[in-house]
Amino acid sequence: MIKKLLLLLFVTYSLFAYDATVEIVKKLDTLPKIAVQDASDSSEDIYLRKKFYKLLVGDLRVSAHFRPLDKYMTSSYSGGVGENFLSKESVDLILRFRLVTVGNSLIANVKLINASSGEVRNETNYKMQQRKRFPFLAHRIIVNTNDLIGAPSIKWMEQFVLFAKYTGKRESEIVVSDYTLSFQKTIVKGGLNIFPKWANKLQDAFYYTSYSGYLPTLYRVDLNSGERRKIITGKGMLVCSDVSNDGEKLLLTMAPQDQADIFLYDLRFKQLERITKYSGIDVNGNFIDNDKKIIFVPDRLGYPNIFSKKIGGHGGVEQMVYHGKNNNSVSAIDNYIVYSSREGESEFGNNVFNLYLISTKTDYIRQLTASGKNLYPRFAKDKDTILFIKHFKNQSSLGVIRLNSNKSFLFPLKVGKIQSIDW
């Protein structure tokens, strides 16, 4: 069992520190300065109102398409001359919200106001059926506000994040959250539950591996019904590292003869096909090129690196990365690959890991971080946003890199240690 757990660590262990070295890919010519006003009735929960305000301002900043004013302001919802212009603040736009609690639901009335003319550019009413999910209501408001000014989409903010966190010795939980960790709901607990992976683009089901029984077992959980269904068991190691675009095939890391290899599992026919055959370690497979190829992490060079292989063909493997001596986690979208690479020592300590971005169609390579320990990068549904894990001084955080703005953001987990993520 110890040997199998070492294989798991081969895929997952790393730490992170803040950096902002990403090249600006695209940006708006002029970022509008925007103020957020709270027009909620005084009877509404002040803690909720201020938390909602902070989420809105935070989302505006993470979007990289606005310059939010860091000043909590109240106003009437109809607005007067001073409230609609804010001439002393020299802002371009005003985002005004009014929260209304109705039973367990939360309603947000929102206005976007042109601060130079006082004109209401847009007014929209939003409703969240479960009040405790208010962070997603805030994210939806900013996604729509971003669309109103014609900026590049930030719809990724509405994605659910899925992560496993260690809570004790051989104890871990599977949690669904928003990207800021402001909303969290534990879905699976009890025993060692790790490596969650969304089952489809709708994010209404996911896979995870349980190490609580005699053999590691891959389960599928339906979020709507709560049903848990066993998919497959295996000796030693069993991880679902990726799901095909149609949701019908899984890439599994398994070690039936002690050495880990990549397998393709067809859910329709319940057939298992071995993709790699190597006497060493092959782990962390990801689909690329419209599910025709995979990238994965083997130790074929005597250290972990990134290789690719066609599915169903007789061709060999191809080395994808020629930089670094320990590249042990990877994610891909279209022809772009982001990976972590262990490098030399620094003032932050030993085993420094940095993130790098490459293209499969060119010699393009971009260093995304300059210091610290970074692991488990995951692309959003667009190519401009990457989620990753940070562990620093006994605390875990989710990190977000915005490639188009040269910015990184960290969101700490208050309790537990993050093991792996997906979104």
Write the burial class of residue 290 (CB in 10 Å: 0-12 exposed, 13-18 middle, 19+ buried): exposed
Task: Kindly state whether residues 241 and 337 are assigned to the same domain.
Answer: yes
Give the domain-ending residue among 119, 151, 183. Answer: 151
Query: From CA 3, how far away is CA 118, in angstroms rounded?
Result: 66
CA–CA distance from 361 to each of 45, 89, 289 (Å)? 53, 47, 11
Compute how many other C-beta atoms are within 10 angstroms of the C-beta atom of residue 230.
11
Which tokens is 328 given? 């042990």
pLDDT in tens, 214-268: 899 999 999 999 999 999 998 889 999 999 999 999 999 999 888 899 999 999 9
Task: Kindly state whether residues 142 and 166 are assigned to the same domain.
Answer: no
pLDDT in tens, 325-354: 788 889 988 778 899 988 865 544 557 788
Element (H or E) spanning 358, and its range?
Answer: strand 352-359
Q: Tell me what the mean pLDDT of segment 70-96 comes to.
A: 94
pLDDT at residue 412 greater than cutoff 90: yes
**DSSP secondary structure, 322-354, as one string:** -S-S---EEEEETTEEEEEEEE--BTTBSSEEE
Task: Kindly state whether residues 98 and 166 are assigned to the same domain.
Answer: no
pLDDT at residue 103 greater than cutoff 60: yes
Mean residue pLDDT across the chain: 88
Task: Kindly state whether residues 135 and 202 are assigned to the same domain.
Answer: no
Task: Kindly state whether residues 209 and 194 are assigned to the same domain.
Answer: yes
Phi and psi at 82, nearest 5°, equal -65, -35
Overall pTM surpassing 0.75 (yes/no): yes
Query: From CA 68, how far away is CA 93, in angstroms rounded?
Result: 9
Report the domain count for the chain.
Answer: 2
Residue (of 249, 251, 247, 248) closest to 262 by Cα position: 251
Task: Kindly state whether residues 182 and 59 are assigned to the same domain.
Answer: no
- Residue 257's pLDDT is 82
pLDDT at residue 27 greater than cutoff 50: no
pLDDT in tens, 285-313: 999 888 999 999 999 898 899 999 999 86
Query: From CA 154, how far away is CA 146, in angstroms rounded?
Result: 7
Query: From CA 150, how far away is CA 167, in angstroms rounded?
Result: 43
The sign of the CA dihedral 282, 285, 288, 294 is positive
CA–CA distance from 64 to each of 33, 221, 285, 333 (Å)? 11, 35, 32, 21
Task: Kindly state whether residues 250 and 144 are assigned to the same domain.
Answer: no
Q: Tell me what the mean pLDDT of segment 126-130 comes to.
A: 96
Least-confidence region, from 189-193, 199-203, 323-327:
323-327
Domain containing 53 equals 33-151
DSSP state, 156?
A: G
Residue 28 lies in a domain: no
Give the domain-ending residue among 116, 151, 186. Answer: 151
Task: Kindly state whether residues 243 and 370 are assigned to the same domain.
Answer: yes
| Three-state DSSP class for residue 412 | strand
